[in-house]
């Protein structure tokens, strides 16, 4: 691997085909696809999806986090649902699959680094409650704790919530939410979410959170 290419790819472990093609062309390579195939065979590139690769430097180990990979596999998107609930400490069990929200069609990617799933959401709901978080390998977009909870309550199918008691049972027993983590939260986002989504389940969530914070 040429030193200039190595130095460039070290700085961006996630690289798309257009960027990689431009970099290789600038460094004198003519048969780009053959070079990419060779790099994959040597373990220098891991294919995450068509046109998106993870560069594995043999000299410098800069690992792209699963969160950053999730944001880049399908955009626009932000991490939410089970993964975000665990990330924020609302649920106890570690979540392996990275779950996200997108304004595009729902989709799942099975990669050598794990499974990344995306669920469609309308733009009006999508725009609420997104935060920027940081790992050692960069920044990524993730739902705030309450946004992740609203997303999960809104998107979960196959259950009926017809009372505050039923919602509390769902939070504690089904989602295993740490209720103490919901004390002192700002409920304005949940109120907006319930209004925009017109979801009875999110309305009951709002009422439960009101009771918790009285």
Q: What are the tens digits of pLDDT across the range 153-173? A: 999 988 889 999 999 999 999
Q: What count of other Cβ atoms lies within 10 Å of the Cβ of residue 10?
A: 14
- Reported for 24-31, long-range contacts at CB under 8 A and 24+ positions apart, including other chains, are 27/2
As a whole number, mean pLDDT of residues 184-199 equals 96
Per 3-state DSSP, what percentage of the chain is helix, strand, and coil (rounded to 5)?
Answer: 45, 20, 35
As a whole number, mean pLDDT of residues 119-127 equals 97
Residue 214 has pLDDT above 60, yes or no: yes
87-121 residue pLDDT tens = 999 999 999 999 999 999 999 999 999 999 999 99
Kindly list the domain boundaries of the chain, sorted by start residue: 3-55, 66-212
Closest CA to 85 of 206, 193, 191, 177: 177
As a whole number, mean pLDDT of residues 63-76 equals 93
As a whole number, mean pLDDT of residues 196-204 equals 96
Of the candidate ranges 8-12, 34-38, 42-46, 58-62, the one whose mean pLDDT is the lowest: 58-62
Instruction: Note the pLDDT of residue 13.
Output: 79
Closest CA to 76 of 114, 15, 112, 130: 130
pLDDT band at 187 (very low <50, low <70, confident <90, very high): very high
Instruction: Note the pLDDT of residue 92.
Output: 95
Question: Distance (Å, rounded) from C-alpha 148 to C-alpha 173?
Answer: 17
Identify whether the C-beta of residue 173 lies closer than 8 Å to the C-beta of residue 166.
no
Identify whether the C-beta of residue 154 lies closer than 8 Å to the C-beta of residue 175.
no
| Cut 0.85: pTM above it | yes
Q: Coil, helix or strand for 134?
A: strand
Instruction: Note the pLDDT of residue 62.
Output: 66
Q: What is the mean pLDDT of the chain?
A: 93
Residue 7, both tokens? 């130095």
Closest CA to 115 of 70, 74, 51: 70
φ, ψ of residue 143 to 5 degrees: the values are -65, 145
- Range among 5-9, 28-32, 205-209 rated most confident: 205-209
Residue 7 has pLDDT above 90, yes or no: no
Closest CA to 116 of 104, 124, 107: 107
């Amino acid at each position: 691997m040429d030193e200039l290419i190595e130095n460039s790819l070290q700085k961006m472990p996630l690289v798309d085909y257009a960027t990689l093609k431009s970099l290789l062309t600038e460094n004198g390579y003519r048969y780009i696809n053959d070079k990419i195939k060779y790099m994959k065979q040597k373990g220098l590139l891991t294919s995450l999806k068509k046109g998106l690769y993870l560069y594995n430097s043999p000299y410098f180990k800069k690992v792209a986090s699963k969160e950053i990979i999730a944001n880049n596999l399908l955009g626009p998107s932000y991490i939410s649902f089970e993964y975000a609930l665990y990330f924020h400490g609302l649920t106890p069990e570690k979540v392996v699959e990275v779950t996200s929200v997108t304004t595009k069609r729902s989709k799942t990617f099975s990669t050598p680094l794990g499974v990344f799933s995306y669920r469609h959401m309308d733009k009006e709901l999508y725009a609420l409650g997104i935060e920027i978080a940081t790992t050692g390998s960069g920044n990524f977009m993730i739902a705030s704790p309450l946004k992740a909870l609203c997303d999960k309550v809104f998107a979960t199918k196959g259950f009926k919530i017809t009372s505050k008691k039923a919602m509390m049972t769902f939070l504690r027993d089904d989602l295993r939410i740490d209720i103490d983590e919901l004390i002192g939260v700002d409920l304005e986002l949940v109120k907006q979410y319930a209004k925009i989504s017109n979801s009875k389940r999110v309305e009951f969530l709002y009422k439960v959170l009101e009771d918790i914070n009285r």
